Every structure is written in structure tokens, then in C-alpha cells.
Amino acid sequence: MMDSTPASPFEYAPAPESVATARLKPSYGVFVNGELRAGRGESVKTINPANEEPLAEVAEAADSDVDDAVQAARTAYTDVWSKLPGSQRAKYLFRIARAIQERGRELAVLETLDNGKPIRESRDVDIPTAAAHFFYYAGWADKLEYAGYGASPKPIGVAGQVIPWNFPLLMAAWKIAPALAAGNTVVLKPAETTPLTALTLAEIIAECELPPGVVNVLPGGPAIGQALVEHPGVDKIAFTGSTAVGKAIARSVAASGKRLTLELGGKAANILFEDAPIDQAIEGIVNGIFFNQGHVCCAGSRLLVQESVHDEVIAALQDRLQTLRLGDPLDKNTDIGAINSAAQLARVRALADSGDDEGATRWSPVCPLPDKGFWFPPTIFTGVSQSNRIAREEIFGPVLSVLTFRTPQEAVDKANNTPYGLSAGIWTEKGSLILWMANRLRAGVVWANTFNRFDPTSPFGGYKESGFGREGGRHGLAGYLESESYLAQ
Ligand code: NAD
């Protein structure tokens, strides 16, 4: 139900970025063997989810482009990349990092247009963190023998990489940077609704004069992803996306000899104790679930709040939500952008409706939605029980499910009562309680008195149905290196 409290008294003049900054081209294609050309598959329009206007035509890949890309990656691996000294690979990675920084504003506007996320986030988080990943892994390229994977770690070969639409350029950087640093070549498939920044990254890579075939980019849908995953010329699959598709991929590569890492969904608990600094925690809760419209695998989508402060926290949260600004993602004042696609909006709506049907109480601030595009207001459900779908299933939208607890053990039990295990947050002033909780939470990343903090030096990945393998940090190299032992007498 919509509240009738008036919106924030603070008004800002609109401050939109110009669409021209994105340097949109009328058409895009594939990037194979160093060449940007039309794909042989379907030609599709990629649209701006904030207004449903077409942005560009994308000539997607066909199966024959997959063959060509894998062949190009194999040749580049065998003839050039695996033979280059690490210091030379580092030189290229540093170049890419600097070029991303130089074209940062263009990439940020392009990302916001294709994805719907607020420009503040693409400008301040996605693009700088993508550049930071290339800088970070450039630093490892000539130091692999000190990374803890044996005295002479070897690359695996050709990596097939499939990524989702929620952080299109950042996910490409997470995948490409460690793979290249370790000496592999790659074929990357971006998500079908957000191919534009990955294809601009391809252009950057060509301008940085990487040897042809070291990186190949194939826009396309699930069928192209599947063709890449099943291609016999690929040695390693790195997948980020939904748990259902991750399971299908695991089945399809089983016993094929391909190495596999999976970064899948989540249903993180953000746990707030009564002694937490409430104002600071409210910012963390808002960032945890409304950052990127909740299209975040590690989103704090379940708030577990200690019963004694439940009412105080919900009132403070509702006050804060009144001040969030939803609208034009290109406007620098915007906090909440568009949902990425009509299909995703339908999923968010259906799950939110299930919350109503199962007896939880829905609340949203006064929040007029634009007439065109895909929009969903920031939403809180209270009175949620653990068996409700909104407490169990990943909504991947701006919807927070609130549950309560009385003791730390109850908080741990409820937080771990999920098939996922990607992340968790703890809010308390007691350091001992943070450590006690962190040791018991089955989550790959545990944040304390903060949330959604990403750093290229820090490993990221899940337990249980959130996948396996780690990206980021020294650990992120493991998925791209063969570990060998030499025993001599
Ligand atoms: P999705 O699984 O539908 O699609 C992800 C990618 O896989 C897309 O590029 C898609 O084209 C491709 N794909 C679909 N079917 C395929 C198949 N059978 N074989 C090969 N490729 C296939 O997921 P999505 O809706 O794009 O992304 C949202 C999901 O991603 C959420 O569940 C989210 O939690 C997860 N995610 C996880 C992480 C992480 O690091 N753990 C990060 C971001 C997103």
C-alpha cells in the first residue's frame, strides 16, 4: 500500500548527463580475432529500459561465430599469449585499465542507458571498479609464482565466460582481467539486454593493440551462451548468473574435463542488533537492497532486525525511503533507476504479489513512476515469515523482506535458513559479537557495519547454491591456473 506522507521537502534542479556522451553507434556486432564486425545471428534492438527507446541495433553471434571466436582464442593462446612473459601481459592490462579511466564518462553514460542504473552508480562504482580490476590483476601478471599456486603455475587455455546484465562492464572486468593476467585467452558472452559496454570494451582492447584473438566478445542470448559452454574447444567455463542456469551448465560440462566456476544468486541476511548505531545501519540497509534497484546478487534482501528495535528501525527506514529519488537514470540526483527489462519487472511484480498473498504487509513511499519504461518503487515487506516466497526466493529487485529475531543464535539460524550463501551483513557495536556471528554464518562474504563494499583485492563468491570458486583477490587467479606439484628426490 502506498503511504500518503509527503515526499522530501528538498528539491533539486535536474542535472542530466547528455546522451551524446555515450557516443552510441547505430549498430554493433561481434569482436572476433581482433575485428569488430557484424555477427551472423539475429539482429536485435537493445533498448533503454528507462523509456523503452531503441539505443542501437546489435547483430548478434551465430554458432559459426562461436566456432570462429574459440578458434581465434586457441590460436592466440598457443602462438602468442601463453608465451608472453608476465611483464608483457601486465603492460596490456595496465593499458586497458588506463583506457577505461580515460573513457570513464562515456562508459558510465552508456552503461546507464543500456542498463537503467543511476549515473551516480555507474560513474562512481561500476566503471572505477572495472578499471581497478584491470590495474589489480596487471600487478599479478608478472608475480604468479608468488601467488601461492606452486612454483610455476600454468594457464588453463581458452576460457568461455558468460555474464549477466546487472553490472555489465564490471562483470566483464571481473572475468577478463584475472584470466588474461594468468595467461589464458577468452571468449566472453555479455547478457542479451546489456551488450554495449562489453562491445565498447572490445573496441578499447583493439585500440590497446592486444594481439588478435586474446579477447573475443559475442553478444547473443542463452543459445549462444550454451553453444559457448558446450564448445569442445573451451577449457574453462566461468559463469555468473542465476542458480537455475548455473545448475544446467554444471550438468552440461560434467565429466567433460572443463574447469568450472559458478557465481550465482543470493538471498543475503542483513542482521541488525539493538546496540547498532541505527542511523548508520539505515544507510547500510538502504544501500544493501536499493543500490542498483536491488539487481545485486549479494543484495541484503532479508533484513533480520532484533525484535526490541523493530518499530524504531522500520520508522527510520520509512523516513529515509521518502527521500529517495526515483526517475531519469541519467540525472545525477537520481537514487533509484529503472528495472532492466520487462521480463525482470514481471518477475519482481509476481514475487511482490506473492508477499501480499502470503500475508506480509507491503509499504512503499510516495513515489510516482514514469509513464514509459520499466519501474518498481522501493518496497518493504514487514511481518514476513521464513516460509514466505519473498523470504526464500531471490527477487532481484528493490524489495526488502523484514524478519525479526531475539537472540544471536536465532539470527544465525534464520540467516542460514536459505539455499543460498553469498553474503551477509552484521550491524552491532560489539566486536566480539561480529566475530561470533561471522564464524557461524554460511556466507562467502560477511560485511560488518557496512554492506555492498567491493574491492578488487578481496575474494568474492558463494557457498551452497550461490556457486563455487572465487573472483577478486589472489583467490581469483586460482580459477585460471593449473596447479601442478613437482616432487623430486
Ligand atoms: P541468467 O542466468 O538468466 O543469465 C546470465 C547469462 O547466462 C546471460 O548472459 C544469459 O544469456 C546466459 N544464459 C542463459 N541461459 C544459458 C544457458 N543455458 N547456457 C549458457 N548461458 C546461458 O541470469 P540473469 O537474469 O542475467 O542475471 C541475474 C542472476 O545473476 C541473479 O540470479 C544474480 O544473483 C546472478 N548474479 C550473480 C553474481 C555473483 O557474483 N554471484 C553477480 C551478478 C549476478
Residue 200 CA to ligand 1 centre (angstroms) = 21
The closest-lying atom of ligand 1 relative to the alpha carbon of residue 467 is: 41
Q: Output the residue whose Cα is nearest ligand 1's atom 15.
A: 222
The tens digit of pLDDT for each residue in 393-419 reads 999 999 999 999 999 999 999 999 999
Distances (CA, A) of 291 to 78, 116, 223, 296, 334: 42, 12, 30, 8, 11
Q: Does residue 467 surpass a pLDDT of 70?
A: yes
- Mutational pocket test of ligand 1: of 188, 193, 229, 297, the residue with most ligand atoms within 8 Å of the beta carbon: 297
Q: What is the pTM of this model?
A: 0.96
Q: Does residue 2 surpass a pLDDT of 80?
A: no
Residue 263 CA to ligand 1 centre (angstroms) = 9
Is residue 263 flagged as an active site residue? yes
Q: Which three cell numbers stand for residue 133?
A: 580490476
Distances (CA, A) of 413 to 281, 381, 441: 21, 20, 9
Q: Which residues pair with 467 in a beta bridge?
A: 263
Which pLDDT belongs to residue 1? 41
Percent of the chain past pLDDT 70, that is, above it, reads 97
Which pLDDT belongs to residue 12? 84
Q: Output the residue whose Cα is nearest ligand 1's atom 40.
A: 263
Q: Which residues pair with 371 in a beta bridge?
A: none
Q: Does residue 4 surpass a pLDDT of 50?
A: no
Is residue 208 flagged as an active site residue? no
| Pocket flag, ligand 1, residue 226 (CB < 6 Å) | yes
| Pocket flag, ligand 1, residue 229 (CB < 6 Å) | yes
Asked whether the beta carbons of 216 and 69 are under 8 A apart, the reply is yes
Residue 68 CA to ligand 1 centre (angstroms) = 24
CATH code of the domain occupying 269-456: 3.40.309.10
Strands 259-263 and 43-47: unpaired
Domain boundaries, the chain: 19-264+467-482, 269-456
d(C-alpha 13, C-alpha 244), whole Å? 43
Q: What's the mean pLDDT when you consider all of the chain?
A: 96
CATH code of the domain occupying 19-264+467-482: 3.40.605.10
The tens digit of pLDDT for each residue in 214-248 reads 999 999 999 999 999 999 999 999 999 999 999 99
Q: Output the residue whose Cα is nearest ligand 1's atom 42.
A: 297
* Exposed/middle/buried for residue 431 (C-beta within 10 Å: 0-12, 13-18, 19+): exposed
Q: How confident is the model at residue 9 (pLDDT cuts 50, 70, 90)?
A: low
d(C-alpha 120, C-alpha 100), whole Å? 17
Residue 172 CA to ligand 1 centre (angstroms) = 13
